Amino acid sequence: MKAISLRVDVDTLEGSIRGIPALLRMLDRHRMRASFYFSFGPDNSGKALRRIFRKGFLQKMRRTNAAKLYGFKTMMYGVLLPAPIISKRAAGEMRSALSAGHEVGIHAWDHVQYHDLLDRKSRQWLSEWYAKAHGAFEEVFGFRAKGAVSPAWRCNDETLELQEPYALDYAGDCRGEAPFYPIVDGKTLSTLQIPTTLPTLDELLGLDGRTPAQVNEEVWAMVKADALNVYALHTEVEGGALAETFDAFLGGLKDRGVEARTHAEWLPELKAANPPAKEIVRREIPGRAGWVSFEG
């Protein structure tokens, strides 16, 4: 049997207000459920411009036409426009995902600051970041979060340790092939890691001339039988300018008999398989600027 988990990362205010409803309509039409992970704090998307000096960043921006994907207004937040608090403006859209039967979890408090400055931030800053994200989640949904996935698949020893007291059922802080328990300083932590196993649309699009249709074909072919398959998408991309491509992707999954399962639905089976303990390393992957955390 082939199954896939659709991990929906919500990074921005625009992705919350417009992208969430668009994806909910699409998923309902295909009768599929997904796992939505929300950013709750300030939308500092404009500050991402500091990545201009990161290897491969400008190339990716041109290849994916980032200005079209994210829009001018979003790219000004936190720079020329004040950074809006996403959960204050889009709580209704967030709750609509839960009402529609999808899983909900945490992606970030301040997505851009974590993504870009993770290794420069103090333990105190990171601790407050987690506290704010979990507090906002409970304010929006009325219960504690059971799952969380880090921005840009980036983590370090401090974030993994700070995450432990929240007693999550799982986290998704890295890329890899199979679930595992992370090792930090020789100690095995208790929060199961469910890595993203498949490349994303924005990583492959335009790479070596790939068209949207070719990307879909490539990812369909990567879905393995009787294995964890996690496909990550963004409300700003698949719920926006590339919605038609993602709609075709969902249709292709159905045509191939691939079942869509949320992380929560998959969890009992994953834990029953007694996942190993592994360290987390850093790698660069094709189509993405900078490093990602990776199953060791």
Where does 56-137 show beta strands of DSSP type E?
103-108
Using an 8 Å Cβ cutoff, are 177 and 270 in contact?
no
Using an 8 Å Cβ cutoff, are 152 and 11 in contact?
no
The pTM assigned to this predicted structure is 0.91
Q: Rounded to 5 degrees, what angle do the CA atoms 181, 187, 188 make?
A: 15
| Residue 42, SS3 per DSSP | strand
Measuring CA to CA, how many Å separate 250 from each of 25, 265, 281?
12, 19, 32
For residue 88, what pLDDT is reported?
A: 97
Distance CA 109, CA 204 (A): 27
For residue 46, what pLDDT is reported?
A: 75
For residue 76, what pLDDT is reported?
A: 63
Question: Quick one: tokens of 39?
Answer: 């950013």
Q: What string of pLDDT tens digits covers the 296 residues of the chain?
A: 899 999 999 999 999 999 999 999 999 999 999 999 999 999 988 755 544 445 544 454 454 555 555 555 666 665 656 778 999 999 999 999 999 999 999 999 999 999 999 999 999 999 999 999 999 999 999 999 999 999 999 999 999 999 999 999 999 999 999 999 999 999 999 999 999 999 999 999 989 999 999 999 999 999 999 999 999 999 999 999 999 999 999 999 999 999 999 999 999 999 999 999 999 999 999 999 899 999 99
Using an 8 Å Cβ cutoff, are 182 and 160 in contact?
yes
CATH number at residue 8: 3.20.20.370
For residue 112, what pLDDT is reported?
A: 93
Number of C-alpha atoms within 13 angstroms, CB side, residue 212? 13
For residue 34, what pLDDT is reported?
A: 98
Domain carrying residue 70: 3-295
Q: How many domains does the chain have?
A: 1
Which residue has tokens 């400055």?
A: 117
